[in-house]
């Protein structure tokens, strides 16, 4: 019997982060050890509260620890236009059912990694501040990390500035530390996450599950769809974050290409851009497996099975 892959989800919920929490908690190939939070889609307090409320919504009980409030250089700036005032607008969510961990995010990651009998995979779906701080504070634990599979960057253009994607733009110094770490990295950037669209057909499939959880998820995704339409003019919203986890659950969900990836730290107009050398023009060695093409059906089947399994347990 294959044991489930132990993971820690480092996130800033956020609608798509919430979907990643559900997938992590429900999929039998994954053992969700804990959740850590980082300021991004909202302030640290808001996104931490949201992680707690999503766990309450789906009866998930795992340690949750608060992480970084500010990026490694400068001050935090949240993305409220996309996720609303609460950072998770669109549905009534229950109040938290358990207290936060007394550990900080870095302490919780170190504790869970040290005490796990297998190597642990980190899934960051927000700015990379906590992960970079963990790597700097605990070099002795680097060989206990199986993969870091993160949502961020793009092989193409950005969404927060013309060339920078939000998670990388929010803390480029942290992203630079992670990308230079030498650890096995998988990058799910906008080029693939924009294939994970919550279309009306997908919303319909979720509604047909006919559970309280499914209805709440559809309300959240409808809010997300409205803001994506208003802000980016996209007809359907991309559910970015669970893609980074789906690849760990089933490698055939995405086609990966090894490439050198660097973070632009100083560009006047391009700070936070991921410079992905797909054609080997820089002569640098590949440091990242870059996710290129999504098996859209497999992705949504995993996501819908997760919502079904968590929702049916509540009936």
Torsion sign across C-alpha atoms 237, 239, 241, 244: negative
DSSP 197: B
Question: Is residue 167 a contact point for ligand BDR (CB under 6 A)?
Answer: yes
> Minimum distance from CB of 73 to ligand BDR (Å)?
19
Question: Is residue 8 a contact point for ligand BDR (CB under 6 A)?
Answer: no
> Minimum distance from CB of 158 to ligand BDR (Å)?
8
Question: Is residue 166 a contact point for ligand BDR (CB under 6 A)?
Answer: yes
Size of the chain in residues: 315
> Minimum distance from CB of 125 to ligand BDR (Å)?
5
Distance CA(180)–CA(199), nearest Å, equals 36
Which entry of 83, 147, 240, 279 is annotated as an active-site residue?
240
Distance CA(211)–CA(310), nearest Å, equals 9
In the complex, which residue's CB is closest to ligand BDR?
166
**DSSP β-bridge partners for residue 8:** 34, 122
Q: Which of 9, 22, 79, 187 binds ligand BDR (CB under 6 A)?
A: 79
Q: Which of 241, 264, 289, 308 binds ligand BDR (CB under 6 A)?
A: 241
The first and second tokens of residue 140, run together, are 């002795």
Distance CA(23)–CA(26), nearest Å, equals 5
By beta-carbon proximity to ligand BDR, the closer residue of 72 and 209 is 72
> Minimum distance from CB of 280 to ligand BDR (Å)?
27
By beta-carbon proximity to Ca ion, the closer residue of 48 and 211 is 48
User: Is residue 147 annotated as a catalytic residue, yes or no?
Assistant: no
By beta-carbon proximity to ligand BDR, the closer residue of 110 and 122 is 122
Question: Is residue 211 a contact point for ligand BDR (CB under 6 A)?
Answer: no
Question: Is residue 66 a contact point for ligand BDR (CB under 6 A)?
Answer: no
Q: What is the CA radius of gyration of the chain?
A: 18
Residue 181 sits at φ, ψ, to 5 deg, of -70, -20
> Minimum distance from CB of 96 to ligand BDR (Å)?
20
Q: Which of residues 117-156 bind ligand BDR (CB under 6 A)?
A: 125-126, 151
Check: CB of residue 54 under 8 Å from CB of residue 18. yes
Residue 236, contacted partner among ligand BDR, Ca ion, none, CB below 5-8 A by kind: none
Q: Which residues contact 216 (CB under 8 A, 6 or more apart)?
A: 57, 91, 92, 93
Q: Which residues contact 268 (CB under 8 A, 6 or more apart)?
A: none
By beta-carbon proximity to Ca ion, the closer residue of 126 and 272 is 126
The first and second tokens of residue 222, run together, are 């409808």
Question: Is residue 14 a contact point for ligand BDR (CB under 6 A)?
Answer: yes
DSSP 273: B
Total chain residues near ligand BDR (CB under 6 A): 15
- Active site residues per annotation: 240
């Amino acid at each position: 019997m294959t044991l489930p892959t132990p993971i820690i989800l480092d996130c800033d919920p956020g609608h798509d982060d919430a979907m990643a929490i559900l997938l992590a908690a429900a999929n039998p190939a994954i053992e969700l050890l804990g959740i850590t939070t980082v300021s991004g889609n909202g302030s640290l307090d808001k996104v931490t509260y949201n992680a707690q409320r999503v766990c309450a919504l789906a009866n998930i009980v795992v340690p949750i620890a608060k992480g970084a409030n500010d990026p490694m250089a400068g001050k935090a700036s949240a993305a409220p236009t996309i996720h609303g005032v609460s950072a998770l607008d669109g549905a009534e969510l229950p109040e938290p059912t358990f207290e936060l961990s007394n550990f900080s995010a870095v302490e919780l990651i170190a504790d869970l990694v040290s005490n796990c009998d297998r190597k642990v995979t980190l899934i960051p779906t927000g700015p990379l501040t906590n992960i970079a701080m963990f790597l700097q504070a605990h070099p002795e634990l680097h060989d206990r990390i199986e993969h870091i599979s993160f949502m961020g960057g793009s092989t193409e253009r950005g969404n927060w500035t013309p060339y920078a994607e939000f998670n990388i733009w929010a803390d480029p110094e942290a992203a630079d530390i992670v990308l230079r770490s030498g650890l096995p990295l998988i990058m799910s950037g906008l080029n693939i996450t924009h294939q994970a669209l919550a279309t009306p057909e997908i919303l319909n499939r979720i509604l047909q599950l006919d559970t309280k959880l499914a209805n709440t998820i559809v309300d959240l995704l409808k809010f997300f769809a409205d803001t994506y339409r208003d802000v980016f003019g996209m007809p359907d919203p991309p559910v970015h974050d669970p893609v980074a986890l789906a690849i760990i659950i089933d490698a055939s969900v995405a086609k990966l290409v090894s490439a050198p990836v660097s973070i632009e730290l100083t560009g006047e107009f391009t700070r936070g851009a991921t410079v992905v050398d797909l054609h080997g023009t820089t002569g640098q060695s590949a440091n990242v497996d870059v996710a290129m093409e999504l098996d859209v059906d497999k992705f949504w089947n995993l996501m819908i099975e997760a919502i079904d399994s968590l929702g049916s347990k509540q009936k």
